Amino acid sequence: MAGVFIGFWFAYSDLSNPTQAFHYLAVFVVVSIAGVTAVESLMFSKQGAEASGYSDPGPYQRQSGLNNAAVAIVSLIVFALNWGTRAETATCLVLLVFLILSSFNHAYSGLRNGNRSWRCFTRPLGTLILLIAVIPFMIRALAATP
């Protein structure tokens, strides 16, 4: 959460330059969320599975953790090499689409399978809030990109 808030702090401190604002926001949001999720999946898989209401983390959680690590690493590369707004948008969209799909999965698990983990209810709400907060910065940056 702290990384996401720092990203928004940078974005709001440079509102006059939409591409620069999104440049910082995208990397902080993607690395904070995908990176922390990767660490949780790879290093704290049992605790992460239990927090999500699942009994066994299984090998697919490790695979998912590696995918999240890849997204975070690519976001850092895009940022460091300054590949531009379209590349930053692509990495950010990968994360946002993953979070939307993950929200559907958590909601399904809560509603259909009786999983009463707090994540089954907070993931959809948190994803919606993040979308509402990030999308305007993304649109402004893309509109300002030649």
Domain count, the chain: 1
Summarize pLDDT for 91-136 with one digit per residue, the tens: 999 999 999 998 888 787 777 766 667 666 788 899 999 999 999 9
Angle at which helix 58-80 crosses helix 18-43, to 10 degrees, equals 150
Indicate if the pLDDT at residue 49 is higher than 60: no
The pTM (predicted TM-score) of the whole model is: 0.86
Structural domain range at position 42: 2-144
Q: Which two tokens stand for residue 53?
A: 């209401």
Summarize pLDDT for 61-95 with one digit per residue, the tens: 788 889 999 999 999 999 999 999 999 999 999 99
